Amino acid sequence: MSSEDKYKLAVKKSELDRVVDSLVKEGLEEIKAGFAGYITIRYKELEKILKNSGVYLAEQSIIDALVKEGIVTVETEGRIVVCPKCKNPSIVVMYTCPSCNSVDIEPTLVMSHVVCGYTGLLVDFKKNDELVCPNCKRRLESEEDYTILGRIFYCHSCKRRFANLSVKFKCIICGEDFGPFDALMKKFYRFKVNLDKVGEYIIRRAKEIVVTEFSKEGFNVAEGGSIRGQSGISHKFDYTATLNEITIGIRFMGFGGKYEAIEAEMAGIYGLSIDLADSEVVIVTPMEISSVETESFGNVHIIVFSSLEDFSRRIRETASLILSKYRKLREADVKEGA
């Protein structure tokens, strides 16, 4: 059964009547192709990231910021055609005949009939649903009856065949028709994330957070510095924060280091706690160390880093915890003195 037969069966006369009635009623003189949908360049992972982080800024500004930090590098992935009139990328592409400019073009095969040697296009061989040699009129039963010599484009309007075609575009949004040389090209990108830079950024920001949050609570925060323990040993810290009688040593431990190294360093914290009994120690570590208690104890405050947002909160909590601890100590002193 050919496709024409199917068509005849599918549409009843009464149905076709109603279609014609409708055409007349609507006053239609022609029916044009319409295009549905809206194509645009989207970066879904980025969208997801922004959504999850609750950031409602333009993607471009986020990317610019990430690029500035070296966290993201931008590579041009390619360029797409956008409408020269309305700049939209919602474009329909049509092949055009280089000879007559028709868009009634399709790629077809160049094939040869093995028995008689006739060479022609697949469209010439097609007869209803069968392949029949236009030369010797024999039916081609299987793939062994013909050889495929190549592919070519065929224009149904002027019947010409050609190897290279032209294209034209139609904008779905504004309807503009334009050719390849009139098209605007819009770049789309691939964003590469530099993990080393991510790590560097996190450390740098974490340190800034330490300075900012302790300063907010009135502490004088200095980079580096050491606190002398009861043993006489000076213990070095990444930051020292002081306020009245309170001295805090803040140490970033094990960032970029190996698990074993962190484990060994963490094991030394108990000694540090005793030697610096009159001070507070804040340890920031990038991971849980199973063999070492990572809960805070006494004058040691351990913050296992999970995210910058969480870290800010933990630092604020730690600062106010230390402040309230000393407030209580002072109150106790006052009571004793009274």
Comparison of 178 and 326: residue with beta carbon closer to Zn ion: 178
Q: Which of 155, 241, 272, 302 binds Zn ion (CB under 5 A)?
A: 155
- Give the range of 35-43, 59-67, 166-174, 280-288 binding Zn ion by CB under 5 A: 166-174
Interstrand relation of 177-178 and 166-171 (parallel, antiparallel or unpaired): antiparallel
Q: Which of 16, 93, 136, 148 binds Zn ion (CB under 5 A)?
A: 136
Contact 146/111 with Cβ under 8 angstroms?
yes
CB of 158 to Zn ion, least distance (A): 3
| Number of residues counted as binding Zn ion (CB under 5 A) | 20
Using a 10 angstrom Cβ sphere, with 0-12 exposed, 13-18 middle and 19 or more buried, the burial of residue 193 is: exposed
Contact 253/269 with Cβ under 8 angstroms?
no
Q: Which of 72, 82, 133, 266 binds Zn ion (CB under 5 A)?
A: 133
Residue 74 lies near Zn ion (rule: CB under 5 A): no
Q: Which of 73, 96, 99, 212 binds Zn ion (CB under 5 A)?
A: 99
Interstrand relation of 246-252 and 280-285 (parallel, antiparallel or unpaired): parallel
Contact 263/292 with Cβ under 8 angstroms?
yes
Residue 176 lies near Zn ion (rule: CB under 5 A): yes
**Could you tell me where the beta strands, DSSP code E, fall in 142-276?**
146-155, 161-162, 166-171, 177-178, 184-193, 220-223, 226-228, 234-236, 239-243, 246-252
Q: Which of 73, 119, 135, 212 binds Zn ion (CB under 5 A)?
A: 135
Neighbours of 269 (CB within 10 A): 20
Comparison of 86 and 152: residue with beta carbon closer to Zn ion: 86
Residue 181: CA count within 13 A, CB half-sphere: 1
Comparison of 113 and 251: residue with beta carbon closer to Zn ion: 113
Q: Which of 118, 162, 189, 191 binds Zn ion (CB under 5 A)?
A: 118
Residue 123 lies near Zn ion (rule: CB under 5 A): no
Which of 209, 237, 238 is closest to 314 using CA atoms?
A: 209
CB of 33 to Zn ion, least distance (A): 16
Contact 75/67 with Cβ under 8 angstroms?
no
Comparison of 24 and 163: residue with beta carbon closer to Zn ion: 163
Residue 95 lies near Zn ion (rule: CB under 5 A): no
Residue 90 lies near Zn ion (rule: CB under 5 A): no
| Integer Cα distance of 212 and 218 in angstroms | 10
Applying CB under 5 A, the residues found at the interface with Zn ion are: 83, 85-86, 97, 99-100, 102, 113, 116, 118, 133, 135-136, 155, 157-158, 171, 173-174, 176
